[in-house]
Structure 1
Amino acid sequence: MISRSRAGMSRPRDEMPAADRPRLDDPVSILMPVCNERDTIEEVVREWIDEVVRFLPEGSEFRFDDASTDGTREVLETLAREYPFVKVYHQDHKDGFGAATMRLYNAATCPLVFFTDSDGQYVPGEFWKLVPHVPMADIVHGTKTNRQDPFHRLAASRTFNFIAHRLLTVPFGDINSAFRIVKREALAAILPHIRHMPTLVNTEMLVRAAMAGMRIVEVPVRHRRRAHGRSKGLPLGSFLRECRLAYRGLLAMRKEFAADAGRLPADT
């Protein structure tokens, strides 16, 4: 079941008033893959701590999978010494966003698992928009309403979402968005089956959850430009190769689901 809610780093923060902040009873594992974000990572982490983590139930954790070579590692280690709930796992070799995503999901220990990017483009306070939907959902998925990225990334994202919708009849407006709360039992049911889209784990997770009939709520969330540096992107050759792999992954899932169910679910 899928439903929709109607609902820059050196920039002012818009912390939610305490009276308006929804209550959370269960601890949360916040997950962030990181690679070469030296100029932004400290401010990003402190903003998340100030606006989200310090209000979470006891036992919550803030996990990072880091493959940086630019000094990000040292910044994260300093933060881990300052905050005992910050847990950093360093990789000696960069093996990609998908591998880091899988490691983080498998390492999460809390009943609720929240995943997001480390570049500061997602607004931490938008986390609280997802929280009211947690009791009635297996996944609460934040969809960017005003994506602040270069044109080529916007075009690629829209094309990918369109193709995914046509092939798999899943009505998500932002299928690969990295802003979601997942219940750990739902995560445990899905992760062993992730195999067709190793670089787009969040996409395959959402599609599999929908096909399994899990309860998914989409919530619009704000997006902003990077405060420092440029949005990371692949060289053209690598980008085209990843596009081909993503398309093959969608086709493989379509074939799998058609074989299992005899048909694809009707569009909703």
Structure 2
Amino acid sequence: MIYQFTIVVPVYNEEDNLKRVEKELGNYLDIAIMSTSILFVNDGSKDSSQDLIEDICNRNEAFNFISFKDNRGLSAAIKAGFDHVTAPLVGYIDSDLQTAPQDFNLLLEQIDNFELVTGVRANRKDSFVKNMSSKIANGIRRAFTKDGMDDTGCPLKVIRTEYAKRIPMFKGLHRFLPAMILLQNGRITQIPVQHFPRLAGEAKFGLWNRLLGPLSDCFAYLWMKRKYINYEVAKKG
């Protein structure tokens, strides 16, 4: 089957969440507004996540996976997903399911006019410290990138695959996806989406990852922006 949309699901030690992921994403496939497949990217999990992923893929034709030899981080997992997708549209959702797969339809309804549509988590169900650190980090990133996005860390996005594949790889990439599309002269927008508390497993990011790490990444982004190569072919012959 030829799919129009593929959802990348990075996984790192999420054995307690994966059965729920299978159920929720399976339910979404029944209501998706276009033909959709799922691509798990196992980021070197140390628990039984890989066995569960293989069982899920054996049960569901639209589910596939790739698995890293070692843990390489969220940005590497997302980039690997982009590299392996063949559908014209690619999405991304975290395996903790703090965002709702059905909200992909809200983003897909807008994608015809944009190269990236990202969610904005409304009424976030996180701790005060997590919410405040994310707010500060987003403010810092906006000051550096001028992307106008309120919640670049929201793990619910849809991107045109041709643009996603041209995003250069570096650690912290997942925080700068809208800005990297702007570097390609792409159009971006944000849509409010649902947010839920984490029901199982452990969060993979602490205060450093959410606040201090992104600050240093902003300087890497500014360097890349100065050096970024972008061109359009006028004629071929």
Q: 1:229 to 1:164 in 2, by over 3 A?
A: same
Q: Which amino acid is the alignment partner of residue 94 of structure 2?
A: D
1:167: how far off? 2.3
Match of 2:105 among 128, 142, 154: 128
Aligned to 1:233: 205
Q: Which amino acid is the alignment partner of residue 196 of structure 2?
A: R
The more displaced of 210-219 and 45-54 is: 45-54
The alignment partner of 1:92 has SS state of coil
Q: Distance in 1 between matches of 2:165 and 2:145?
A: 23
Q: Which amino acid is the alignment partner of residue 49 of structure 2?
A: T
What is the aligned-residue identity percentage?
Answer: 20
1:226: how far off? 1.7
Q: Which amino acid is the alignment partner of residue 203 of structure 2?
A: S
After superposition, the C-alpha distances for 1:116-166 in whole angstroms (9 at most, x for unaligned) are: 100011112211111210111111111111222222221221111111122
Q: Which amino acid is the alignment partner of residue 214 of structure 1?
A: G
The alignment partner of 2:186 has SS state of coil
Q: Is 1:26–1:112's contact at 8 Å kept on the other side of the alignment?
A: no
Q: Which amino acid is the alignment partner of residue 100 of structure 1?
A: A
Asked whether 1:252 is paired with 2:224, we answer no
Asked whether 1:61 is paired with 2:37, we answer yes
Aligned to 1:213: 185
Q: 1:55 to 1:132 in 2, by over 3 A?
A: closer
Aligned to 1:84: 61
Asked whether 1:51 is paired with 2:19, we answer no
After superposition, the C-alpha distances for 1:175-223 in whole angstroms (9 at most, x for unaligned) are: 122211101122133x2x344xx1x222222112124331112101011
Aligned to 1:204: 176
Asked whether 1:151 is paired with 2:123, we answer no
Q: Which amino acid is the alignment partner of residue 63 of structure 1?
A: L
Q: Distance in 2 between matches of 1:126 and 1:215?
A: 20
Asked whether 1:119 is paired with 2:96, we answer yes
> How many corresponding residue pairs?
227
Q: Which amino acid is the alignment partner of residue 81 of structure 2?
A: L
Q: Which amino acid is the alignment partner of residue 170 of structure 1?
A: D
1:53: how far off? 5.8
Match of 1:72 among 46, 49, 53: 49
Q: Which amino acid is the alignment partner of residue 152 of structure 2?
A: I
Q: Distance in 2 between matches of 1:30 and 1:259?
A: 30
Aligned to 1:18: none
Q: Is 1:148–1:224's contact at 8 Å kept on the other side of the alignment?
A: yes
Match of 1:35 among 12, 17, 21: 12
1:257: how far off? 3.5
1:91: how far off? 2.4
After superposition, the C-alpha distances for 1:14-48 in whole angstroms (9 at most, x for unaligned) are: xxxxxxxxxxx961111000011111111122211
**How do 1:139-218 and structure 2 match up within 5 A?**
139-189=116-166, 191=167, 193-195=168-170, 198=171, 200-218=172-190
What's the Cα RMSD here?
A: 2.5
Q: 1:231 to 1:249 in 2, by over 3 A?
A: closer
Could you list the runs of 5+ residues in structure 1 that have no partner in the other structure?
A: 1-24, 261-268
Q: Is 2:5–2:34's contact at 8 Å kept on the other side of the alignment?
A: yes
Q: Distance in 1 between matches of 2:210 and 2:200?
A: 26
Structure number, greater radius of gyration? 1
Q: Distance in 1 between matches of 2:34 and 2:209?
A: 43
Q: Is 1:113–1:182's contact at 8 Å kept on the other side of the alignment?
A: yes
1:244: how far off? 4.1
